[in-house]
Structure 1
Amino acid sequence: MAWAKAHVHTGSQSGYYNLCDHLVGLAYGFSASGSTTAYVHWTQIPSKFKHAGSTNVPAGGLAFFSGGSGHVMISIGGGKFISNDIHGNGSYTQTTIAEVKSKWGKPYLGWSQPWFKANH
């Protein structure tokens, strides 16, 4: 959470564009998540760490969406998240599950505790 909050910006950073799964890995101290896409990341997480359909995501939890390569963002608590690209390509800003669903039309899958293929 601290890493995500420290990197919030509204300007375009090409290093953040279309790299949501990479960014959540960085937030937890990994050089990569270990997955090829956010959707693949969701499919690799053991079911005991997933909360399918639940929108009550605690701070630090990862919220996942399907649709194309999917999307993942990190919760900062209180129904708020830090996500890339939602407010412009390469941006990294605060958003909600509802905004991602509405703006991008991506179906919400649920949330998980931080789990990365990179360390499993």
Structure 2
Amino acid sequence: MIGKLLTGTLLILTVPALATLTALTVGSSADHCLDSSQPSAVPTPTFTAEATVPDSGPTSPTGAPTAGCIPDLGAHAAVATVPAGTPTDVAAAVRNGLAYVGVTGGWYQRCDQLACRAYGYANSGYVSAHTHWLAMLATGHAHPGDPCPPLGSFVFFNTGRPDGHVSLVVQADPGSCDHTVIQVTANEIFDHATGNHGGVYQLSLARLEGMYLGGHGYLGWSDPVCAGALVPPGAPSANAGS
């Protein structure tokens, strides 16, 4: 059981058991790409907030420009080796999270939903990433200010706007806690430069930190606890259209 904070009221919700999922696959990039030989606009971080209703799956619009055609914009998941001994649910979540990297649409204002989707949830069960963070603080699942998020955890940010941001950790650095080594997935952040709408990207935690409040927006990390409904059997995979 965990608490969900809404308009000052603590509601008690049952958390479903974390689902063990098979890895998803991402389709090939669209044919039409931005010209990488030309200077691209500086990526502008866009605010993300969750839509709490289940969606029918991310989309890759035909002919839409993809981040894969622009250097260093996190459009392709890096090869990641899940360390031996990683819990099964965490290992599956990391692979699932990476499978969404390169998707060009379908995740506009759905950062919290995207993080929980890796663990098999249709939505997070919270109104926003900020509300999710408050619930984690209230129930002892949050680690505020801790600079060393473990693999599969959720990292939260104050973006300067009400709903905040959350991302999934897909590569940790338990030895040094180096934020240039730690990798996360995130929605929307390079959409301005790529022409995507709700695309999913992979980047370092340090780079994501630099996009919020002058590098001072990092709140900490939480255990991967969600309160939404599980994805129903037969739901579209990462490369399926809506």
TM-score normalised by L of structure 1: 0.86
CA separation in 1, counterparts of 2:224 and 2:167?
11
The percent of aligned pairs where both chains have the same amino acid is 31
CA separation in 2, counterparts of 1:111 and 1:99?
16
CA separation in 1, counterparts of 2:168 and 2:219?
14
Q: Which residue of 2 aligns with 1:36?
A: 127
- Aligned length in residues: 117
What displacement does 1:90 show?
1.6
Q: Which residue of 2 aligns with 1:84?
A: 187
Structure showing greater Rg = 2
Q: Deviations over 1:95-120 (max 9, x none)?
A: 2232223224371110011111327x
Q: Which residue of 2 aligns with 1:71?
A: 165
CA separation in 2, counterparts of 1:47 and 1:107?
22
Stretch deviating more after TM superposition (86-95 or 33-42) = 86-95
Q: Deviations over 1:50-92 (max 9, x none)?
A: 1111121111000001232100000012311111112224221
What displacement does 1:49 show?
1.5
Q: Which has the higher strand share?
A: 1
CA separation in 2, counterparts of 1:42 and 1:103?
19
CA separation in 2, counterparts of 1:96 and 1:70?
18
Amino acid in structure 1 at the alignment position of 2:168: I
Unaligned 5+ segments in structure 1 are none
Quick check: 1:19–1:84 contact (8 Å CA) kept in 2?
Answer: yes
CA separation in 2, counterparts of 1:12 and 1:70?
22
Quick check: 2:112–2:165 contact (8 Å CA) kept in 1?
Answer: yes
Unaligned 5+ segments in structure 2 are 1-93, 173-181, 192-196, 230-242
Quick check: 1:64–1:108 contact (8 Å CA) kept in 2?
Answer: yes
Instruction: Flag the 1:81–1:25 CA change in 2: closer, same or farther, 3 A.
Output: same
Matched, 1:12 2:115: no
Matched, 1:62 2:154: yes
What displacement does 1:47 show?
4.6
Stretch deviating more after TM superposition (97-106 or 70-79) = 97-106
Quick check: 1:57–1:77 contact (8 Å CA) kept in 2?
Answer: no
Aligned counterpart for 1:102 among listed residues 210, 234, 237: 210
Q: Secondary structure at the match of 2:155?
A: strand
Q: Which residue of 2 aligns with 1:27?
A: 118
Quick check: 1:60–1:74 contact (8 Å CA) kept in 2?
Answer: yes
Q: Which has the higher helix share?
A: 1
What displacement does 1:12 show?
3.0
CA separation in 2, counterparts of 1:107 and 1:5?
24
What is the root-mean-square deviation in Å for CA atoms of aligned residues? 1.8
Quick check: 1:86–1:95 contact (8 Å CA) kept in 2?
Answer: no
